[in-house]
Chains A and B, each alone.
Chain A
């Protein structure tokens, strides 16, 4: 839900409550005022009638409400003595409306020549239901008018005010640390927004700097590690050549050499990964995927024979793309190697090549793997303790540079699909 609609809906609900409460209060206050005014009128009429009655010698005994809207009848003294003025709402037949209409009726008592008379004065009343309906209608219009105003305000004014915010949001949506472009902001007079803009820019710049220095650090560290690694390996090789080495000593030495070798591979892979991410492979040319795959499979001939794997390469269409040939070789090698290494003896690898897709299927011991983990760094399978765990991460990094889509699925076998377009 958008911010504008959110506030509008809240305001609309709130207004409904406020206006309803206000309407009730207004209605009763209005009614009270009307009664007050009518009762005053009745009171005044009472005074006039009593005055007139006092002057009249013949007492006008009127039992019906004829012209003048009042009636007089004689009552006994006992009732007259205890009577108090009484205002009531009642209804009375009206000639003009031909219906019973609400009236206000004042019942009072006066004395003339020692005899008590009851006087009833009626006056036409407001029709309450009419008043209520009228009030309800006007309030409905008021409410609708207010909501419309708020909507209008939101659509035009708020949209304008929040423009810098949405602009920033759009920029953030497209932001990635690996390809940081310049984050642009819209000038704004609103303090909060300009503060937000400034801080977001600062935060992102900080992140970009950290990311870059981290990248640089990995690359530098890997570089710096090469020479000491080289020295250690060569010294151990020199030691291994000395004649006075026992079998146990040689074993230890070899194990140390092996591990240094592993460290070297790891280091090289990390270095390669940072080079790929730093886009240091710029040169591009046409690259024949099928040809490269065939050559790579040939290179792995010994492994394939050793594991008695069945390799199937099906080229449905020729696949030629434009990319850096070194990266292309690394990408395909890592994928093919992955399928060969993570396999069991007598297993199979099926490679399908079409114009824009490369599919590599391989049998393996495990069931489906987690795609999300598979392409991350150091996502190791338990099968191969010596693998660097960087092969597929490197493949992923290369794919990302060329916007290839590299994905994993498990219909029946491990399947890695590389979409070139």
Chain B
């Protein structure tokens, strides 16, 4: 899986590249419009992470270029502008997703994987975690061919942790992903905890060979092969 990170802010770019490399992606980077343009024209990428405000030109132009050159790859706009107009024009121009800065790395992983899953030709829409098989389209679970029922929130939590398997997902990142941006309440993490507790119990009862670890009260980590 090959990913291009187009981002002019060096530190930001380094964060994204390092984190995605840990997810076993092949990551290339471009710091300005023309480098990115060149790379888009030469190589094929499974996913392009695109900043809108770039030295040398607008990311939206790159988006149009990429759409014509890079048919199969997914494109996620990553912007600090967080403006609805950019979002709409980006999505209209064929971007697959829009992520506004600042975001959690866990969120980036989940989005990239989701886009890649959808874009990969005859790719599977399933995620395998030991004896657990998650069908992301139908939102169903199979444990050794036996269906396991989860409610909507539990499924979202599991899917998010699965997208970041073997990596730490902070409670905030998880809460924001599952409950939306409006989670800014003291008690919000209490129901993250209760949701995880329920999920763990259901997984254990179904003999799922997957462990959800709590990390020092910072967050959670899904352990799987």
* Residues of A with C-beta under 8 A to B215: 240, 250
Complex Cα spacing A320 to B179, Å: 27
Task: Establish whether residues B182 and A333, one from each chain, have CB atoms under 8 Å apart when the complex forms.
Answer: yes
Complex Cα spacing A416 to B102, Å: 33
Task: Establish whether residues B190 and A306, one from each chain, have CB atoms under 8 Å apart when the complex forms.
Answer: yes
Known: A234-B19, A299-B180, A386-B184. Contact between A254 and B105, CB under 8 A?
Answer: no
Complex Cα spacing A258 to B104, Å: 12
Known: A226-B101, A230-B102, A231-B15. Contact between A237 and B170, CB under 8 A?
Answer: yes
* Residues of A with C-beta under 8 A to B16: 234
* Residues of A with C-beta under 8 A to B185: 303, 341, 384, 386-387
Known: A231-B12, A247-B216, A254-B170. Contact between A223 and B179, CB under 8 A?
Answer: no
Closest to A385 in B: B186
- Size of interface on A: residues with Cβ below 8 Å to B: 46
From B102, B153, B168, B190, A233 is in contact (CB under 8 Å) with B102
* Residues of B with C-beta under 8 A to A254: 170-171, 216-219
Q: Mark A137-155, 1 if CB is under 8 A from B, else 0.
A: 0000000000000000000
Closest to B188 in A: A303
Asked whether any CB of chain A lies closer than 8 Å to the CB of B103, the reply is yes
Complex Cα spacing A240 to B104, Å: 12
- Size of interface on B: residues with Cβ below 8 Å to A: 45
Q: Mark B1-30, 1 if CB is under 8 A from A, else 0.
A: 000000001011001101100000000000
Asked whether any CB of chain A lies closer than 8 Å to the CB of B43, the reply is no
How would you classify the secondary structure of chain B's contact residues: helix, strand, loop or mixed?
mixed
* Residues of B with C-beta under 8 A to A241: 167-168
Task: Establish whether residues A230 and B182, one from each chain, have CB atoms under 8 Å apart when the complex forms.
Answer: no
* Residues of A with C-beta under 8 A to B179: 299, 302
* Residues of A with C-beta under 8 A to B182: 299-300, 333, 337
Task: Establish whether residues A387 and B172, one from each chain, have CB atoms under 8 Å apart when the complex forms.
Answer: no
Task: Establish whether residues A230 and B191, one from each chain, have CB atoms under 8 Å apart when the complex forms.
Answer: no
Task: Establish whether residues B104 and A233, one from each chain, have CB atoms under 8 Å apart when the complex forms.
Answer: yes
Task: Establish whether residues A238 and B19, one from each chain, have CB atoms under 8 Å apart when the complex forms.
Answer: yes
Asked whether any CB of chain B lies closer than 8 Å to the CB of A186, the reply is no
Q: Name the segment of A116-124, A157-165, A263-271 touching the other chain.
A: A263-271
Asked whether any CB of chain B lies closer than 8 Å to the CB of A229, the reply is yes
Task: Establish whether residues A231 and B11, one from each chain, have CB atoms under 8 Å apart when the complex forms.
Answer: yes
Asked whether any CB of chain A lies closer than 8 Å to the CB of B92, the reply is no
Known: A235-B15, A333-B182. Contact between A226 and B80, CB under 8 A?
Answer: yes
Give the shortest distance, in Å, between A257 (CB) and chain B (any CB): 6
Give the shortest distance, in Å, between A196 (CB) and chain B (any CB): 42
Complex Cα spacing A307 to B194, Å: 13
Give the shortest distance, in Å, between A162 (CB) and chain B (any CB): 48
Asked whether any CB of chain B lies closer than 8 Å to the CB of A292, the reply is no
Asked whether any CB of chain B lies closer than 8 Å to the CB of A388, the reply is yes
Complex Cα spacing A403 to B68, Å: 45
Asked whether any CB of chain B lies closer than 8 Å to the CB of A251, the reply is yes
Task: Establish whether residues A326 and B187, one from each chain, have CB atoms under 8 Å apart when the complex forms.
Answer: no
Q: Mark B170-212, 1 if CB is under 8 A from A, else 0.
A: 1111000001111011111011001100000000000000000
Q: Mark A295-332, 1 if CB is under 8 A from B, else 0.
A: 00001101101110000000000000000001000000
* Residues of B with C-beta under 8 A to A385: 186
Complex Cα spacing A45 to B130, Å: 150
Closest to B15 in A: A234
* Residues of B with C-beta under 8 A to A341: 185
Give the shortest distance, in Å, between A383 (CB) and chain B (any CB): 9
Known: A240-B168, A241-B168, A257-B172. Contact between A230 and B218, CB under 8 A?
Answer: no
Task: Establish whether residues B85 and A230, one from each chain, have CB atoms under 8 Å apart when the complex forms.
Answer: no
Interface residues of B in 72-126 (CB under 8 A from A): 80-85, 100-106
Closest to B169 in A: A237
Closest to A275 in B: B83
Task: Establish whether residues B170 and A257, one from each chain, have CB atoms under 8 Å apart when the complex forms.
Answer: yes
List 18 additional A-B contacts (Cβ < 8 Å) besides A226-B82, A227-B80, A254-B217: A226-B100, A230-B15, A230-B80, A233-B104, A234-B16, A234-B105, A237-B173, A241-B167, A250-B215, A250-B217, A258-B172, A265-B181, A268-B181, A299-B179, A299-B180, A305-B191, A306-B187, A387-B184
Give 18 A-B contacts (CB < 8 Å), ordered by A residue.
A227-B9, A227-B102, A230-B15, A230-B80, A240-B218, A251-B217, A251-B218, A257-B172, A258-B172, A268-B82, A302-B191, A302-B195, A307-B187, A326-B84, A333-B182, A341-B185, A384-B186, A386-B185
Binding site for A on B (CB under 8 A): 9, 11-12, 15-16, 18-19, 80-85, 100-106, 153, 167-168, 170-173, 179-182, 184-188, 190-191, 194-195, 215-219
